Structure 1
Protein backbone atom coordinates (compact mmCIF):
# COMPACT_ATOMS: atom_id res chain seq x y z
CA UNK A 1 0.00 0.00 0.00
CA UNK A 2 1.10 3.57 -0.68
CA UNK A 3 1.32 4.41 3.03
CA UNK A 4 4.11 1.89 3.61
CA UNK A 5 6.16 3.34 0.74
CA UNK A 6 5.65 6.88 2.05
CA UNK A 7 6.71 6.19 5.66
CA UNK A 8 10.48 6.13 4.96
CA UNK A 9 10.12 9.26 2.84
CA UNK A 10 8.41 11.08 5.71
CA UNK A 11 11.23 10.02 8.05
CA UNK A 12 13.84 11.11 5.49
CA UNK A 13 12.25 14.58 5.32
CA UNK A 14 11.96 15.01 9.09
CA UNK A 15 15.56 13.87 9.61
CA UNK A 16 17.05 16.13 6.91
CA UNK A 17 19.38 18.60 8.67
CA UNK A 18 19.40 20.91 5.63
CA UNK A 19 15.74 21.91 6.15
CA UNK A 20 14.24 24.21 8.78
CA UNK A 21 11.27 22.91 10.75
CA UNK A 22 8.79 24.79 8.55
CA UNK A 23 10.51 23.54 5.40
CA UNK A 24 10.21 19.98 6.71
CA UNK A 25 6.52 20.45 7.52
CA UNK A 26 5.87 21.91 4.08
CA UNK A 27 7.77 19.05 2.43
CA UNK A 28 5.70 16.48 4.36
CA UNK A 29 2.49 18.23 3.24
CA UNK A 30 3.68 18.20 -0.37
CA UNK A 31 4.69 14.55 -0.21
CA UNK A 32 1.24 13.51 1.03
CA UNK A 33 -0.73 15.76 -1.33
CA UNK A 34 1.28 14.64 -4.37
CA UNK A 35 1.21 10.90 -3.62
CA UNK A 36 -2.24 10.23 -2.19
CA UNK A 37 -4.79 10.96 -4.89
CA UNK A 38 -7.67 11.90 -2.60
CA UNK A 39 -5.60 14.24 -0.35
CA UNK A 40 -6.58 17.62 -1.83
CA UNK A 41 -5.39 19.97 0.93
CA UNK A 42 -2.80 19.04 3.56
CA UNK A 43 -1.71 21.32 6.37
CA UNK A 44 -0.74 21.75 9.98
CA UNK A 45 -2.41 23.86 12.64
CA UNK A 46 -0.65 24.68 15.90
CA UNK A 47 -2.29 25.41 19.24
CA UNK A 48 -1.92 28.50 21.37
CA UNK A 49 -3.27 27.22 24.68
CA UNK A 50 -3.30 30.69 26.28
CA UNK A 51 -5.68 32.13 23.67
CA UNK A 52 -7.37 28.75 22.97
CA UNK A 53 -6.81 29.16 19.24
CA UNK A 54 -5.24 27.15 16.43
CA UNK A 55 -2.90 28.89 14.00
CA UNK A 56 -2.26 27.75 10.43
CA UNK A 57 1.23 26.46 9.79
CA UNK A 58 2.73 25.12 6.57
CA UNK A 59 0.22 23.67 4.11
CA UNK A 60 -0.22 22.61 0.49
CA UNK A 61 -3.43 23.26 -1.42
CA UNK A 62 -5.79 26.10 -2.14
CA UNK A 63 -5.35 29.25 -0.03
CA UNK A 64 -7.57 29.40 3.04
CA UNK A 65 -9.01 32.27 5.07
CA UNK A 66 -9.00 29.99 8.12
CA UNK A 67 -5.64 31.02 9.56
CA UNK A 68 -6.88 31.21 13.17
CA UNK A 69 -9.53 28.80 14.50
CA UNK A 70 -10.96 28.98 18.04
CA UNK A 71 -10.86 25.77 20.07
CA UNK A 72 -14.18 23.98 19.65
CA UNK A 73 -15.03 25.54 16.27
CA UNK A 74 -15.04 23.38 13.17
CA UNK A 75 -13.43 19.97 12.91
CA UNK A 76 -9.95 21.26 13.78
CA UNK A 77 -11.24 23.19 16.78
CA UNK A 78 -13.08 20.12 18.04
CA UNK A 79 -9.91 18.01 17.83
CA UNK A 80 -8.06 20.67 19.85
CA UNK A 81 -10.57 19.99 22.64
CA UNK A 82 -11.16 16.22 22.26
CA UNK A 83 -7.51 15.20 21.61
CA UNK A 84 -8.88 12.46 19.33
CA UNK A 85 -8.83 11.76 15.62
CA UNK A 86 -11.86 13.08 13.77
CA UNK A 87 -12.89 11.57 10.42
CA UNK A 88 -15.70 13.31 8.57
CA UNK A 89 -16.98 11.16 5.67
CA UNK A 90 -19.33 13.91 4.44
CA UNK A 91 -18.74 17.51 5.56
CA UNK A 92 -22.29 18.44 4.47
CA UNK A 93 -23.60 16.27 7.32
CA UNK A 94 -21.58 18.14 10.00
CA UNK A 95 -23.22 20.98 11.91
CA UNK A 96 -19.97 22.39 13.32
CA UNK A 97 -18.01 22.50 10.05
CA UNK A 98 -16.04 25.45 8.69
CA UNK A 99 -16.25 25.33 4.90
CA UNK A 100 -12.92 26.05 3.24
CA UNK A 101 -14.13 25.37 -0.28
CA UNK A 102 -17.36 24.14 -1.86
CA UNK A 103 -15.30 21.36 -3.48
CA UNK A 104 -14.35 19.78 -0.14
CA UNK A 105 -16.43 16.67 0.54
CA UNK A 106 -14.62 15.06 3.49
CA UNK A 107 -11.97 15.79 6.11
CA UNK A 108 -9.65 14.01 8.52
CA UNK A 109 -7.87 15.65 11.44
CA UNK A 110 -5.30 13.87 13.62
CA UNK A 111 -3.86 15.54 16.73
CA UNK A 112 -0.13 16.11 17.13
CA UNK A 113 1.22 15.29 20.59
CA UNK A 114 4.57 16.33 22.05
CA UNK A 115 5.33 14.99 25.54
CA UNK A 116 1.65 14.10 25.96
CA UNK A 117 0.40 17.60 25.07
CA UNK A 118 -1.74 18.29 22.01
CA UNK A 119 0.30 21.03 20.30
CA UNK A 120 -1.57 20.95 17.01
CA UNK A 121 -2.79 18.71 14.26
CA UNK A 122 -2.54 17.60 10.69
CA UNK A 123 -5.64 18.49 8.70
CA UNK A 124 -6.52 16.92 5.36
CA UNK A 125 -9.39 17.84 3.08
CA UNK A 126 -10.58 15.69 0.20
CA UNK A 127 -12.76 16.48 -2.78
CA UNK A 128 -13.87 12.82 -2.65
CA UNK A 129 -16.78 11.67 -0.51
CA UNK A 130 -15.82 9.24 2.30
CA UNK A 131 -12.29 8.23 1.16
CA UNK A 132 -10.61 7.99 4.59
CA UNK A 133 -10.10 4.62 6.28
CA UNK A 134 -8.47 3.37 9.45
CA UNK A 135 -5.30 2.98 7.37
CA UNK A 136 -5.28 6.76 6.81
CA UNK A 137 -5.63 7.31 10.56
CA UNK A 138 -2.74 4.98 11.40
CA UNK A 139 -0.55 6.52 8.68
CA UNK A 140 -1.26 10.08 9.83
CA UNK A 141 -0.54 9.07 13.42
CA UNK A 142 2.84 7.83 12.17
CA UNK A 143 3.40 11.12 10.33
CA UNK A 144 2.63 13.05 13.50
CA UNK A 145 4.97 10.87 15.56
CA UNK A 146 7.77 11.78 13.14
CA UNK A 147 6.79 15.46 13.11
CA UNK A 148 6.66 15.53 16.93
CA UNK A 149 10.42 14.88 16.95
CA UNK A 150 10.89 18.36 15.45
CA UNK A 151 9.58 20.03 18.63
Structure 2
Protein backbone atom coordinates (compact mmCIF):
# COMPACT_ATOMS: atom_id res chain seq x y z
CA UNK A 1 0.00 0.00 0.00
CA UNK A 2 1.15 3.50 -0.79
CA UNK A 3 -0.44 6.81 0.17
CA UNK A 4 0.33 9.62 -2.24
CA UNK A 5 -0.58 13.27 -2.64
CA UNK A 6 -0.80 13.80 -6.40
CA UNK A 7 -1.83 17.16 -7.79
CA UNK A 8 -3.36 18.09 -4.44
CA UNK A 9 -5.44 14.93 -4.06
CA UNK A 10 -4.80 12.04 -1.70
CA UNK A 11 -4.63 8.54 -3.18
CA UNK A 12 -4.14 5.15 -1.56
CA UNK A 13 -2.79 2.58 -3.97
CA UNK A 14 -2.49 -1.15 -3.49
CA UNK A 15 0.94 -1.45 -5.11
CA UNK A 16 4.42 -2.46 -4.07
CA UNK A 17 6.22 0.52 -2.42
CA UNK A 18 9.22 -0.23 -4.66
CA UNK A 19 7.14 0.57 -7.76
CA UNK A 20 8.45 3.66 -9.55
CA UNK A 21 6.24 6.73 -9.24
CA UNK A 22 6.01 6.85 -13.06
CA UNK A 23 4.09 3.57 -13.24
CA UNK A 24 1.78 4.45 -10.36
CA UNK A 25 0.91 7.72 -12.11
CA UNK A 26 0.36 6.15 -15.51
CA UNK A 27 -1.05 2.71 -14.70
CA UNK A 28 -2.89 3.27 -11.43
CA UNK A 29 -4.02 6.91 -11.68
CA UNK A 30 -4.34 7.28 -15.46
CA UNK A 31 -2.08 10.36 -15.55
CA UNK A 32 -0.34 9.63 -18.84
CA UNK A 33 1.21 13.04 -19.46
CA UNK A 34 4.35 11.88 -17.67
CA UNK A 35 6.26 9.83 -20.25
CA UNK A 36 8.50 6.79 -20.08
CA UNK A 37 11.72 7.46 -21.97
CA UNK A 38 14.85 5.64 -20.89
CA UNK A 39 13.95 4.14 -17.51
CA UNK A 40 17.32 5.14 -15.99
CA UNK A 41 16.78 8.87 -15.28
CA UNK A 42 18.92 10.03 -18.20
CA UNK A 43 16.42 11.59 -20.62
CA UNK A 44 14.01 13.59 -18.42
CA UNK A 45 10.77 12.54 -20.16
CA UNK A 46 9.43 11.29 -16.82
CA UNK A 47 10.06 14.49 -14.85
CA UNK A 48 7.54 15.40 -12.15
CA UNK A 49 7.81 17.73 -9.16
CA UNK A 50 8.35 16.27 -5.71
CA UNK A 51 7.71 19.14 -3.28
CA UNK A 52 8.50 21.52 -6.12
CA UNK A 53 11.76 19.87 -7.16
CA UNK A 54 12.16 18.39 -10.64
CA UNK A 55 12.45 14.63 -10.06
CA UNK A 56 12.82 11.64 -12.37
CA UNK A 57 9.78 9.50 -11.66
CA UNK A 58 11.10 6.44 -13.52
CA UNK A 59 13.60 5.68 -10.74
CA UNK A 60 11.84 7.20 -7.72
CA UNK A 61 10.09 4.46 -5.72
CA UNK A 62 6.70 5.15 -4.19
CA UNK A 63 8.23 4.62 -0.75
CA UNK A 64 10.31 7.80 -1.22
CA UNK A 65 7.36 9.81 -2.55
CA UNK A 66 5.01 9.09 0.35
CA UNK A 67 4.41 12.19 2.45
CA UNK A 68 5.53 14.49 -0.36
CA UNK A 69 3.55 16.55 -2.87
CA UNK A 70 3.76 15.04 -6.35
CA UNK A 71 2.86 17.43 -9.15
CA UNK A 72 2.44 16.20 -12.71
CA UNK A 73 2.24 17.92 -16.07
CA UNK A 74 -1.56 17.69 -15.88
CA UNK A 75 -1.63 20.06 -12.88
CA UNK A 76 1.04 22.41 -14.23
CA UNK A 77 -0.66 22.83 -17.60
CA UNK A 78 -4.29 22.32 -16.75
CA UNK A 79 -4.67 24.30 -13.56
CA UNK A 80 -4.00 27.77 -12.28
CA UNK A 81 -0.24 27.30 -11.93
CA UNK A 82 1.14 30.76 -12.81
CA UNK A 83 4.63 29.52 -13.63
CA UNK A 84 3.35 26.60 -15.67
CA UNK A 85 1.08 28.91 -17.65
CA UNK A 86 4.00 31.29 -18.37
CA UNK A 87 6.15 28.36 -19.52
CA UNK A 88 3.41 26.99 -21.79
CA UNK A 89 2.71 30.39 -23.30
CA UNK A 90 6.43 30.86 -24.01
CA UNK A 91 6.63 27.34 -25.49
CA UNK A 92 3.91 28.28 -27.97
CA UNK A 93 5.42 31.69 -28.80
CA UNK A 94 8.78 30.07 -29.54
CA UNK A 95 7.32 27.05 -31.35
CA UNK A 96 9.39 24.73 -29.14
CA UNK A 97 7.70 21.39 -29.71
CA UNK A 98 8.39 19.22 -32.73
CA UNK A 99 7.66 15.55 -32.07
CA UNK A 100 6.51 16.49 -28.55
CA UNK A 101 7.57 13.35 -26.70
CA UNK A 102 9.99 15.10 -24.35
CA UNK A 103 7.86 18.18 -23.85
CA UNK A 104 6.12 17.26 -20.60
CA UNK A 105 9.49 16.62 -18.99
CA UNK A 106 10.94 19.80 -20.47
CA UNK A 107 8.02 21.90 -19.19
CA UNK A 108 8.26 20.31 -15.74
CA UNK A 109 12.02 21.00 -15.53
CA UNK A 110 11.57 24.58 -16.74
CA UNK A 111 8.70 25.32 -14.37
CA UNK A 112 10.56 23.92 -11.32
CA UNK A 113 13.62 26.00 -12.27
CA UNK A 114 11.64 29.22 -12.73
CA UNK A 115 9.57 28.69 -9.57
CA UNK A 116 12.80 28.40 -7.55
CA UNK A 117 14.31 31.63 -8.92
CA UNK A 118 14.25 34.67 -6.64
CA UNK A 119 11.40 37.00 -7.63
CA UNK A 120 12.40 39.17 -10.56
CA UNK A 121 15.72 37.42 -11.23
CA UNK A 122 16.45 36.86 -14.88
CA UNK A 123 18.42 33.65 -15.47
CA UNK A 124 21.52 33.67 -17.62
CA UNK A 125 21.76 31.36 -20.63
CA UNK A 126 24.26 29.24 -18.64
CA UNK A 127 21.81 28.92 -15.73
CA UNK A 128 19.04 27.88 -18.10
CA UNK A 129 21.32 25.32 -19.77
CA UNK A 130 22.32 23.90 -16.37
CA UNK A 131 18.69 23.64 -15.23
CA UNK A 132 17.60 21.95 -18.45
CA UNK A 133 20.71 19.81 -18.98
CA UNK A 134 19.14 16.53 -17.87
CA UNK A 135 16.32 16.75 -20.39
CA UNK A 136 17.04 15.36 -23.83
CA UNK A 137 15.24 16.53 -26.96
CA UNK A 138 15.94 14.22 -29.85
CA UNK A 139 14.56 16.86 -32.24
CA UNK A 140 17.25 19.30 -31.06
CA UNK A 141 15.08 22.28 -30.15
CA UNK A 142 17.49 23.39 -27.42
CA UNK A 143 17.85 26.97 -28.70
CA UNK A 144 14.07 27.39 -28.74
CA UNK A 145 13.80 25.80 -25.28
CA UNK A 146 16.44 28.23 -23.92
CA UNK A 147 14.64 31.19 -25.53
CA UNK A 148 11.27 30.06 -24.17
CA UNK A 149 12.60 29.64 -20.61
CA UNK A 150 14.14 33.13 -20.75
CA UNK A 151 10.88 34.51 -22.16
CA UNK A 152 8.84 32.86 -19.41
CA UNK A 153 11.20 34.31 -16.79
CA UNK A 154 10.63 37.80 -18.21
CA UNK A 155 6.87 37.26 -18.20
CA UNK A 156 7.00 36.21 -14.53
CA UNK A 157 9.11 39.22 -13.44
Q: With structure 1 as the length reference, what TM-score do the two structures score? A: 0.27
Larger Rg: 2
More helix by share: 2
TM-score relative to the length of structure 2: 0.26
Of Structure 1 and Structure 2, the greater strand share is in: 1
